[in-house]
Each structure stands twice: as structure tokens, then as C-alpha cells.
Amino acid sequence: MLVGSRRWSLILFLGFHMAVSQASSPCPPALHALLTPYQKWMQQVADRKELRLMTWNVRNLYTSVGRYERQVTGLVKLSDKLAPIKSAESLRGLKHTIASADPDILILQEVESQISIQNFVSEYLDSKYMVFFASGNDPRGIGIAFLVKKDLPLTFELRLNAHERWIDPAKKAGQEPVPVFARDFPILIARSPDPSESYNPVLMVGGVHFKAMNSRPGDPQSEAWVRAEAERASEIIERLRKEFGSPLPLFVAGDFNRDPADHEAIQNLIRSAGLLDSLDLAGVAPHSDARTTFTVHNFQPGEAGAEQGVKKLQLDSILVEQQLKDAIQDAHVMPLRDHRNDVLPLPKTKAERDANPSDHRPVVLRIDPKRLLQSQGLLPAP
């Protein structure tokens, strides 16, 4: 049944409204007993102080298993390591950086496999996260992983889109359609655990890792490819709107491999899908150190866009459905931490960047759960 057609009796509505509107006071037992299971669940969500999302390209989280591909006969090994196994020092740096944000949901890029991320969660994150992994199309074997805290009162579905195809203009004429996403554009859908109310999502997160700026024959800097990725992502979001209605409780998070503020294809995605950059909502100045998630080095002094031989870029972001903007408490780019849990400054050289746990810095978003529910009409507006 759709949200708009739910009918609450007056006493239940008043009791529930009192319970969720007084965050400092627990729901009185007499009123709590009157609530339906679904209303009790909404109260449990609304009573959380905040919901934290974090996206991070963790740079080649290879730990053990090499490159595999799922075939009809099972997993078939394609090759050995395509990158060195991540060092224990780097893994501890990942651990400390994640722990400093304590996110409820992580969206990680450049993860080797379900086994690798599961081992990392067990050994470094105290097994407090569920793992959802999208292996995708990347020949390096890297995919996108969602980590979800086990104490979140939600059920989850992961939808994969690695199968989406396009006709690549850089290929020979007459060639068969090929995957449009360099990795995937997976969608994590969170719903109420109440089976009678569980179809409409309360939260959706799209994971992004668009094509890098490596040039291909006939496609300088892979611009045609990333434009196709952005257009298809917008189409998929529109399909979700047709399925679930609007507003869509959607966040799109990850490594765009382009600056969302400056790149035409990413801007078209933002406009067509009705999204906003969370760092804009938080007032983080464009092209500032506070907005830098990636650095490029070894430029000549005075070269355009470079400062002391370094270009500071925002390649990573969390985009937000426009109608959810009032639910956003804060967004910021986080500094990295090393294996000793010391905060790391922006790298000044490529050697410094390469020695860090990752070459990217994460973006963290803080959401007000109560306002998130109100934005969807699941709770009375204030």
C-alpha cells in the first residue's frame, strides 16, 4: 500500500506524533503499546540522533584472492594479483579513517572482492557491518562495496546494473553492445523490516565509480564513455522514480573521476536527476583545500590549475535528492589517518600521496533521520 493511502486512527496518530516530536523524552509505555509495529519502527529510526554516510575510494583493496569471474560452472580464476596486496599499515590507516567518522553506511570503491571486504570488516572493523558487494565490469577486478551497520533497523536490497549496454562509438562499426558502466551503478535500497509496509524505500544509495580520465583510441580522456555512464545513471534514476514515486529518498555517492561542479556530463546528471551536491549544501567553498579529495602532482610551476606543482581536485561526492536537502545536517571532506591514527595533511608530492592509505580523501554526510522520514510524508511535518 502506498504511503499516501495510509490511514491512522486519531489516537495512534497523536500518540506517535508525541513520541517522535519529543526527541529528549522516550515514548511513554502506555502510548508505545498503542503503536503498530510499523509506527514503532519509525519511532526507532526517528529517535536516532543522526545517520552518517561515507564514500571513499580506498585504492586497490586487494587482500588475498586475485581476479575471479563468475561463470556457469562457478568462480573461474582469471589471473593472479593485478596490484600488490594492501599492506597492514595501509589497512590500519583505512581502519582509523573509517573509525574517526563512524559511518552507518559506507560506499567504497576499488574493492577486490566480497571475500576481501568481508575479511577487512572482520579483522579491522569488529564485524559490525553487513557487506553488499557489486563486482562489476572492471578488468582490474575492483568493485563497489556497501557496508551497513548491523544495528540499523532496516532491511536491504542490492540492485545491480553492470548488465546495462551501449554501442561504444570508439569501437569498430557493427560491434555488439558492450557494458556502459566501467564498473557498475549499484543501488542499495533500504526498507522497513515490517513485511506489510516494506515495499517503498526509506533510503536509497547509488554507488558510483565512473571511468577514469585515461584516453582511448577515438575517445580522448574517455569523455564519450563517462558521458554515456552519466546519461544511463540518470535513466536508471528515472526508472526508480516511476517505480517508487517522488520524492525519491536518493543519495548518489562515489568517485566520479571528474569534478561534479565543473564537468558537463556530471552536471547534466545532477540537473536531470534533480540532485544537489551535499558539499554545496554544507557551504564548502569550491576549489578549496576543504573540498579536495584527490591531488595530481609533478606539474610545472605556473601551469594552469596547479599550485606549487599540485592540482587539487574534487572527484568524489555525495549527491542528494533536492527534496531531502532539509534533512542534511552537514557534509565535509575528511582527512586521512595513518596506521598510528595520526591525521595526514594533503600530500605535497606524489610520493607522499602514494604512501597514504589511499590516494583519495572520503566525503562524509550527516543526515537527520526524523527529517528524512518527514520529507517522504512518513512523519508529520514540524
Burial class (CB in 10 A: 0-12, 13-18, 19+), 321: buried
C-alpha count within 13 angstroms, C-beta hemisphere, residue 205:
28
Angstrom distances, CA of residue 118 to CA of 62, 75, 155: 12, 17, 19
Residues 33 and 159 in one domain: no
Which pLDDT tens digit goes with each residue over 341-374?
Answer: 999 999 999 999 999 999 999 999 999 999 999 9
The pLDDT score that the predictor gives to residue 4 is 38
Residue in 321, 326, 349, 346 with CA at minimum distance from that of residue 334: 346
Residue in 351, 315, 306 with CA at minimum distance from that of residue 333: 315
Q: Is residue 340's pLDDT more than 50?
A: yes
Q: Is residue 324's pLDDT more than 50?
A: yes
Number of domains composing the chain: 2
Cis link prior to 247 (omega < 30° from 0)? yes
Residue 1 covered by a domain: no
Share of the chain above pLDDT 90, in %: 66
Residues 148 and 38 in one domain: no
Residues 40 and 155 in one domain: no
Dist. CA 57–CA 110, nearest whole Å: 6
Residues 37 and 153 in one domain: no
- pTM, rounded to two decimals: 0.87
Per the CB < 8 A criterion, the answer to whether 108 and 58 are in contact is: yes
Residue 279 covered by a domain: yes
Residues 148 and 12 in one domain: no
Residue 148 covered by a domain: yes
Residue 355 covered by a domain: yes
Residues 128 and 220 in one domain: yes
Angstrom distances, CA of residue 99 to CA of 57, 187, 228, 320: 16, 24, 36, 24
> The domain spanning residue 163 has which CATH number?
3.60.10.10
Residue 380 covered by a domain: no
The pLDDT score that the predictor gives to residue 302 is 56
Per the CB < 8 A criterion, the answer to whether 58 and 124 are in contact is: no
Residues 33 and 72 in one domain: no
Looking at residue 70, its amino acid is R
Per the CB < 8 A criterion, the answer to whether 309 and 297 are in contact is: yes
Dist. CA 292–CA 205, nearest whole Å: 22
Residues 241 and 277 in one domain: yes
Residues 282 and 328 in one domain: yes
Beta strands (DSSP E) in the chain are 51-61, 67-71, 74-79, 105-111, 129-134, 143-149, 155-159, 165-166, 178-179, 187-191, 203-209, 250-255, 275-277, 294-296, 311-313, 316-321, 328-333, 363-367
271 phi, psi to nearest 5 deg: -70, -50
Residue 15 covered by a domain: yes
Residue for grid cell 572492471: 138
Burial class (CB in 10 A: 0-12, 13-18, 19+), 260: buried
Residue 338 covered by a domain: yes
Residue 41 covered by a domain: yes
Which pLDDT tens digit goes with each residue over 242-293?
Answer: 999 988 999 999 999 999 999 999 999 999 999 999 999 999 999 999 999 9
- Helix, strand or coil, per DSSP, at residue 219: strand
Answer positive or negative: Cα dihedral of 115, 185, 206, 215: positive
Residues 32 and 73 in one domain: no
Cell of 145: 562495496
Residues 314 and 194 in one domain: yes
Confidence of residue 174 (pLDDT cuts 50, 70, 90): confident
Residues 188 and 214 in one domain: yes
Dist. CA 122–CA 254, nearest whole Å: 23
The pLDDT score that the predictor gives to residue 34 is 59
The parent domain of residue 291 ranges over 49-375
Dist. CA 381–CA 10, nearest whole Å: 16
